[in-house]
Structure 1
Amino acid sequence: MSARVVAAARGWIGTPYVHQASVRGAGADCLGLVRGVWREILGEEPEVPPPYTADWGETGREELLMAAGLRHMAQVTGGWAEGQVLLFRMREGAVAKHLGILSQAGEDARFVHAYDRHGVVESPLSAPWRARVAARFAIPGA
């Protein structure tokens, strides 16, 4: 099913960035992308996310995305594989608030994600991006 997750994620490429949106082709943020792929693969979302800010540098103690990931997906501690959901901490001391989907593992690793002024894109999982990965999750059944 991981190939199905990657295909679904790539189907969102070109969707404009819209904070808190999750409509393929119309608008999505990084969480909206993951929510949309979830709906395409599994159906109804397991919960409605609360309102959230777009600030990647937000400090605080509430790791809401980490907690949601642990509630609904299996945390991955082994090898990197296509279809895994990546949770990024953009700077030390900040809350982990950016998500992507690993679209290609290995030496030329890539991931699909959404961010302001770029929309949904596929980017290289370069060393700086890889260093920011706070957790990896597997979508159930993927």
Structure 2
Amino acid sequence: MNADPTRVVAVARFWLGTPYHDQASLRGVGCDCLGLARGVWREVVGPEPFPIPPYSRDWGETGPREVLAEGARRMMIEVEAAVAGPGALLLFRMKPRAIAKHVGIVTGSGSFIHAYERLGVIEEPLTNAWRRRIAFAFLFPQR
């Protein structure tokens, strides 16, 4: 069973304005996109089930494995990206043929929250340019 999407969105919005900081996950202090997702997880689901190893910031990284998606599959509920609604975690492929390396949380039919370098945690429209980059979608499980 998945977590209440209204709660997921409300918790994610508490992170708005958090400065960008690579590989961090502290609301109001600093986080990157994965750190935002990790923080929402802790507040909605509970303790993180396993430690997150260091990761590369290279959005153009290629390889045979979708490491981020594989990790999400271990603890979240995968759904079709086309039907992902509020509260869903989206994984984005930022460059063609690259692995998915960016995440955001859907907040409405046309918006999402993510942590972006130089901007921090922001909510913005889920434009067609962003929609074309969606590679995977997941729901947070219940506590």
Query: What is the CA–CA distance in structure 1 between the aligned matches of 2:115 and 2:62, rounded to whole Å?
Result: 21
* 3-state secondary structure, aligned to 1:19: coil
CA distance in 1, matches of 2:64, 2:120: 28
The aligned residue for residue 103 of structure 2 is 99
Matches of 2:98 and 2:13, distance apart in 1: 28
Name the count of aligned residue pairs.
139
Query: Take 1:79 and 1:60, find their aligned partners in 2: how far apart are those partners?
Result: 27
1:83 positional shift? 0.1
Alignment match of 1:17 (pick from 20, 25, 29): 20
Which aligned runs of 4 or more in structure 1 are off by greater than 2 angstroms?
none
Task: Give the CA deviation at 1:80.
Answer: 2.6
TM-score (norm 1): 0.94
Q: Distance in 2 between matches of 1:17 and 1:57?
A: 20
Q: Provide the rounded CA distance (Å) in 1 between the counterparts of 2:134 and 2:34.
A: 15
Percent identical residues = 53
Q: Which residue of 2 aligns with 1:29?
A: 32
**For residues 75-94 of structure 1, what are the structure 2 equivalents within 5 Å?**
75-77=78-80, 79-94=83-98
Q: TM-score, normalised by structure 2?
A: 0.93
Structure 1 stretch 33-42 or stretch 50-59: which is displaced more? 50-59
1:109-120 superposed matches below 5 A: 109-120=110-121
Consecutive unaligned residues of structure 2, counting only runs of 5 or more, are none
Aligned-partner residue type, residue 44 of structure 1:
P
Give the one of 33, 42, 58 matched to 1:39. Answer: 42
Residue 90 of structure 1 aligns with an amino acid whose one-letter code is M
The residue number in structure 2 matching 1:136 is 137
Alignment of 1:33-72 (within 5 A): 33-72=36-75
Work out the CA distance in 1 between the residues paired with 2:44 and 2:24: 18
Backbone CA RMSD of aligned residues? 1.2
> How far did residue 62 of structure 1 move?
2.6
Distance 1:30 1:90 in 2: 13
CA distance, structure 2, for counterparts of residue 95 and residue 137 of structure 1: 16
